[in-house]
A and B are shown apart, each in its own frame.
Chain A
């Protein structure tokens, strides 16, 4: 084959690869205006030198229930939430593993709701958690642990294979955020300012078996061992909810209490403490009691901040000028969004 032919073929192949890269960037969902929780995991990497006292891991109950700016403002405690929608126990474990390679917080807080799931649930939620992770051995293991039967590893390496059919539904968002994304969260907290109170009268249905799945409990144990190895304190929590669909059964609670007692881990179930925290289910939720809105989240954060400071000895770092300047910026952003919603 002539040299000219070889060069021509190489150029065309390279151009195709570049075009494929462009198409992939265009076709993957941007999560900027819809399903915004899909953007949360990737935002962690925007932290230049991550240094947090507290790391929250878990599902929507974490990124909707705790506001790191409030924790800083009231207690001088730095924190970050590595949470995403329906983040399962193994997602949380591998995210924790990856995060602990970047920083060593004093406390890791894990929300226990996801322990009820023993198997991969939903491909869309897998993508929201896993696509946002940077490539590492933790991500590879997380993908392997999470894939549903219909998924393939190749589609995580080349998301185009998963999202190619979105060419039919491309919108302005896809072009606007083709090369850069907005920052949506406040250290992993996704602000919800709407108010939609209420309580369902429906009683949760009884279950045939209340045993928490072995798989998820094994990942909880791995999280505990990892924290122990890194010298980090693990705290288990259950965020408050007021909806029958996401009911936290007493039988599940007892298993967590037993686990915590056996392993010397603190566990706080905030469901029965809602009055003490001051949560008003008419004003502090944006979806009828499933999740807290920003007003409820601030109350819970203030309550939990006191526990962290008093019981777990986290000190006020607001005297650190550099840290203060950094967090002041975060607070400004936080209040800008909060106030904009109130106007």
Chain B
């Protein structure tokens, strides 16, 4: 059951309808049942994997929690007799024990993801080495990759780390945890929620709130428009450009822009459906985007794009890695050997590299994703290193750097740079991607684009117009919604909102790239 299918629309409508009809205390049970029905239709065999993750998460968290409770009870019972140092030592010992439990849980949780997602990649690499030595290769098994596994695994493992850090209390009720792991609107492509913010909303009783419902409905319609009209139409061109070997030089530039439009409309469209549908159920999910294409630097871009993934890696990988004992030792060593300035930066940079390597690897089991992650890291680190230079430039030309054109130039530069790196995701083959990047500077075929080239890779002029109108609408919605989202402004004027939703439905039905003649396309982030 794809998000963009008629069956999903009916399924969601029935779920929302029932949600407000049944007794409020049963609402979360309905959501759990709906989530498992949704997942069952995605693939009955996938249920085993989500149940496995739920069990691992539940029992690991419960185990850590019971140890933490015992620790607290012991300390409380012996607070008068225990020395401060003894208490500290006891707590440190207990923390170590909980850490071992956490590591076990993480290994079991991430282990399944690693086996299912990365076995083929690793074995292909091993076979490459074996064949270099003339040895025969290992058979690569064909493994299932359950829908949304990266998202629910990360959300569950984040919860385990929070329980370990005592930031959240372990869920006592197995079924409640099952809902936290499987909540169907966010199961497929996030956002990656935190237990502390989501659980309370999932399990509290919700009365129908007209404003919230209308706003959510408008967001869902807008999400469908972005996905089915803009992203799926752009996908036709992206596919044509990637599959055709003749599309080099200026066409690579077209691909960079077109794929940026596609992935933005696709991912933000999917997230709009997710957050909008949750809002209709009275549940507020974390935002995942904040006008990323208006970013003026790579660092800013990554604060605005896929926010929940970024914060997950920052909180659960980058920070722990930066302050772990080996890193502190490295910091000490590098300060002594390389001086305070560089020595201080080395551990931070190392943690950054590891974080970006893992971010790339999370996106997919392929060299292109690893290179994508590392290139992002490189751009961020180089920018950081060049910061003093920028500052000097800014001091010399203060009026220029404060001007609007400069701001726009920075936005365009960031957009193109991110798009360039992102094209690794389209071409997949790293060598081919680099060669094609090279042709942008060696093959000057811009004239071709305006003599039929723009309609030579699958997109008609009419479809370009649809994409163009979609981009203008997305830009306007972004501009108009700077202070308050457009949907919320509209939600206060129900008749206008109704008209807008009807227009969006009409546009989706007529201009949407769905049905026979179009490739049914899943959301890009479904596969990550």
**Residues in B neighbouring A19, C-beta threshold 8 A:** 506
Contact of A168 among B463, B494, B514, B516 (CB under 8 A): B463
Q: Judging by beta carbons under 8 Å apart, are A16 and B506 in contact?
A: yes
Per-residue CB contact flags for chain B residues 488-501 toward chain A (1 = under 8 Å, else 0) read 00000011001100
Q: Judging by beta carbons under 8 Å apart, are A161 and B515 in contact?
A: yes
Contact of A160 among B460, B462, B499, B509 (CB under 8 A): B509
A35 within 8 A of B: no
B494-527, CB < 8 A from A:
494-495, 498-499, 502, 505-506, 509-518
Q: A16-B505, A168-B460 are in contact. Are A9 and B515 (CB under 8 A)?
A: no
Q: Judging by beta carbons under 8 Å apart, are A9 and B495 in contact?
A: yes
Q: Judging by beta carbons under 8 Å apart, are B502 and A164 in contact?
A: no
| Residue of A12, A13, A123, A154 contacting most chain B CB atoms (<10 Å) | A12
**Residues in A neighbouring B144, C-beta threshold 8 A:** none
Q: Judging by beta carbons under 8 Å apart, are A154 and B6 in contact?
A: yes
* B side interface size, CB within 8 A: 22
Q: A5-B494, A9-B498, A13-B498 are in contact. Are A151 and B516 (CB under 8 A)?
A: yes
A149-164, CB < 8 A from B:
150-152, 154-155, 160-162, 164
A8 within 8 A of B: yes
Inter-chain CA distance A155–B511, complex, in Å, is 16
Q: Judging by beta carbons under 8 Å apart, are B506 and A1 in contact?
A: no
Q: Judging by beta carbons under 8 Å apart, are A23 and B510 in contact?
A: yes
Q: Judging by beta carbons under 8 Å apart, are B506 and A167 in contact?
A: no
Q: How close is A272's CB to chain B, nearest CB, in angstroms? A: 41
Q: How close is B503's CB to chain A, nearest CB, in angstroms? A: 8
Inter-chain CA distance A165–B512, complex, in Å, is 8
Q: How close is B202's CB to chain A, nearest CB, in angstroms? A: 28
B104 within 8 A of A: no
**Residues in A neighbouring B509, C-beta threshold 8 A:** 20, 23, 160-161, 164
Interface residue range, chain A: 20 to 34
**Residues in A neighbouring B499, C-beta threshold 8 A:** 12
Closest residue to A154 on the B side, CB-wise? Answer: B6
Q: Judging by beta carbons under 8 Å apart, are B518 and A165 in contact?
A: yes
Q: Judging by beta carbons under 8 Å apart, are B495 and A162 in contact?
A: no
Q: How close is B184's CB to chain A, nearest CB, in angstroms? A: 22
Closest residue to B505 on the A side, CB-wise? Answer: A16
**Residues in B neighbouring A150, C-beta threshold 8 A:** 516
**Residues in A neighbouring B502, C-beta threshold 8 A:** 12-13, 15-16
B210 within 8 A of A: yes
Main SS of the interface on chain A? helix
**Residues in B neighbouring A5, C-beta threshold 8 A:** 494-495
Inter-chain CA distance A23–B510, complex, in Å, is 8
Q: Judging by beta carbons under 8 Å apart, are A167 and B515 in contact?
A: no
Q: A9-B494, A162-B516 are in contact. Are A167 and B510 (CB under 8 A)?
A: yes
Q: Judging by beta carbons under 8 Å apart, are B498 and A155 in contact?
A: no
A7-63, CB < 8 A from B:
8-9, 12-13, 15-16, 19-20, 23, 27
Per-residue CB contact flags for chain B residues 217-228 toward chain A (1 = under 8 Å, else 0) read 000000000000
Inter-chain CA distance A168–B516, complex, in Å, is 15
**Residues in B neighbouring A1, C-beta threshold 8 A:** 210, 494
Q: Judging by beta carbons under 8 Å apart, are A165 and B6 in contact?
A: no
Inter-chain CA distance A201–B511, complex, in Å, is 48
**Residues in B neighbouring A165, C-beta threshold 8 A:** 513, 515, 517-518
**Residues in A neighbouring B462, C-beta threshold 8 A:** 167-168
Q: Judging by beta carbons under 8 Å apart, are B506 and A155 in contact?
A: no
Q: How close is A197's CB to chain B, nearest CB, in angstroms? A: 37
Inter-chain CA distance A161–B513, complex, in Å, is 10
Per-residue CB contact flags for chain B residues 198-239 toward chain A (1 = under 8 Å, else 0) read 000000000000100000000000000000000000000000
**Residues in B neighbouring A12, C-beta threshold 8 A:** 495, 498-499, 502
A109-147, CB < 8 A from B:
123
Inter-chain CA distance A190–B418, complex, in Å, is 59
B448-475, CB < 8 A from A:
460, 462-463
Q: Judging by beta carbons under 8 Å apart, are B512 and A164 in contact?
A: yes
Inter-chain CA distance A123–B516, complex, in Å, is 9
Inter-chain CA distance A11–B515, complex, in Å, is 29
Q: A13-B502, A16-B502, A168-B460 are in contact. Are A8 and B495 (CB under 8 A)?
A: yes
Per-residue CB contact flags for chain B residues 7-38 toward chain A (1 = under 8 Å, else 0) read 00000000000000000000000000000000
Inter-chain CA distance A12–B490, complex, in Å, is 15
Interface CB pairs A-B, < 8 A, 22: A1-B494, A5-B495, A8-B495, A8-B498, A12-B495, A13-B502, A16-B502, A16-B506, A19-B506, A23-B506, A23-B509, A151-B516, A154-B6, A155-B516, A160-B509, A161-B6, A161-B509, A164-B514, A165-B517, A165-B518, A167-B511, A168-B462
Report which B residues bind A (CB closer than 8 A).
6, 210, 460, 462-463, 494-495, 498-499, 502, 505-506, 509-518
The 4 closest A-B pairs by CB, nearest first: A8-B495, A16-B502, A9-B498, A168-B462
